[in-house]
Amino acid sequence: MKRLAVYCGSGSPADPRYIALAREVGETLAGRGIGVVYGGGRLGLMGALAEGALMAGGEVIGVIPQALADAEVANPDCTSLTIVETMHQRKQAFTDLSDGFLTLPGGVGTMDELWEAVSWSQLGYHAKPVGLLNAFGFYDQLLAFQQHMIAVGFIRPVHAGIILAEHSLDMLLERMAAHVPHRPIIQMTAADL
């Protein structure tokens, strides 16, 4: 993996562990020679992620919509910063520029990005690993809900393993590097569905 799209919040929670985590992820990825593709912001976990990677000598590619750049939240320190018109263009750029997806704690935007990466994988629009860093148990309830969707039958067994979730970044990166793509929906027939 040469580059990972990293999804995380632009907020700064009161608990300092979240900012420290994002900074550490940036440092670790840079230390492994893995470039960061992210939302291009300078605030919250996004800013800490970029700062950590840049301070460790890593590549940081920011992709931000014009409206957010106009609101002065763009990070001018990125190795490269691309300004796009829409969120759809931003997410397409994440997919085009990365070899996989790594999700850290975040809010609604982070969930949108994670689930789009999962959905596109399930459909077959990409065959890249989708990692979820469940630091501090932040995603325990989301993973329980995913298991509920599997149990009810809204997620097919062949797609149940799309999200690779771990509490440890090292373990997660190992699993992502060993990722074997599943059979996507676009390769199935109606009888399979």
Question: Which pLDDT tens digits describe the chain residue by residue (193 residues)?
Answer: 999 999 999 999 999 999 999 999 999 999 999 999 999 999 999 999 999 999 999 999 999 999 999 998 999 999 999 999 999 999 999 999 999 999 999 999 999 999 999 999 999 999 999 999 999 999 999 999 999 999 999 999 999 999 999 999 999 999 999 999 999 998 988 888 7
Whole-model pTM? 0.96
Phi, psi of 40 (to 5 degrees): 80, 10
pLDDT score, position 188: 85
Give CATH for domain 3-181: 3.40.50.450
Q: How many angstroms separate the CA atoms of 72 and 117, rounded? A: 27
* Alpha carbon of residue 46 to chain centroid: 11
Residue with tokens 């800490």: 48
Interatomic CA distance for residues 193 and 187, integer angstroms: 11
